[in-house]
Amino acid sequence: MIRFNVNNKFNFLIFFSDLIRKIFGGDRVKRLSSKVKFILDKEFLKKRKKICIIDFGCGSMEIAKEIQNKKYIKKIIGLDVYEDNFKNKKLIYKQYKQLSDLATLKVDVILIIDVLHHMGTDSAYKTLKKLSKISNILIIKDHFEYGFFSRHFLRFVDFYANYAYGVTIPSKYFSVNSWEKTVKKSGLREVYVERGFQQHDGLFNIILDEKYHFFSLLKKK
């Protein structure tokens, strides 16, 4: 995901990487945004309620920009570790350093898009517990690994996507089994899950196909 305030020696490589993505189907924002819209519509389209959303680990809020025009969305707060003061009518970006910084927030939905594995899969249930104190609904997109080879393949892909931004590359990812255990330990209930989400098109989808991606909707019991 694109980040705010990237002014470093990697700018040319970032430009070249983004160009490769556009040519070979690596732009994932539209597909991710469409799925987020689909899930939100099922929850809120028929309700007479304006909602507030946190986009946790938002980067430069590319997904938030795509979904902001939904009539039931009042505000989207983007949270990440980078410094910036971006905002418009519906979107506002805030920097945070640790989860305790979010204790005073209260929203309807939290988006956690390809962020949870960077925070550690073994402790992910703790993160979910803390975030569920802020919101009753969590929408997660993340990765599945299927053994040694796929784990290191995903690590390579993460390195390609994040090397310029100083993002920590995880040592492992969720398996189907470890994700189910994470949900159970979090004390939340999974009301929707999609295993095998097509994130990319073209060559990127061939290389990093559907089996590596999943969506999950968690709610408080």
Considering the domain delimited by 11-220, tell me its CATH architecture: 3-Layer(aba) Sandwich (3.40)
pLDDT value of residue 8: 56
Q: Where are the domains of the chain?
A: 11-220
Query: pLDDT grade, residue 133 (50/70/90)?
Result: very high
% of the chain beyond a pLDDT of 70: 88
Lowest mean pLDDT across 2-11, 64-73, 139-148, 150-159:
2-11
Q: pLDDT tens, 79-104?
A: 998 888 888 889 999 998 888 888 88
pLDDT value of residue 204: 78
pLDDT value of residue 125: 98
Cβ–Cβ < 8 Å for 185, 109: no
Give the chain's mean pLDDT: 89
Cβ–Cβ < 8 Å for 147, 118: no
Helices (H) and strands (E) in the chain, counts: 7, 7
Query: pLDDT grade, residue 171 (50/70/90)?
Result: very high
For residue 128, pLDDT beyond 90: yes
CA 211 – CA 80 distance, rounded (Å): 27
What's this model's pTM, rounded to 2 decimal places?
0.90
Cβ–Cβ < 8 Å for 199, 168: no
Residue that wins the pLDDT comparison between 38 and 8: 38
Cβ–Cβ < 8 Å for 10, 164: yes
pLDDT value of residue 93: 94
Over range 170-181, report the average pLDDT: 97
Q: What is the 3-state secondary structure (H, E, C) of 59-116?
A: CCCHHHHHHCCCCCEEEEEEEECCCCCCECCCEEEEECCCHHHHCCCCCCEEEEECCH
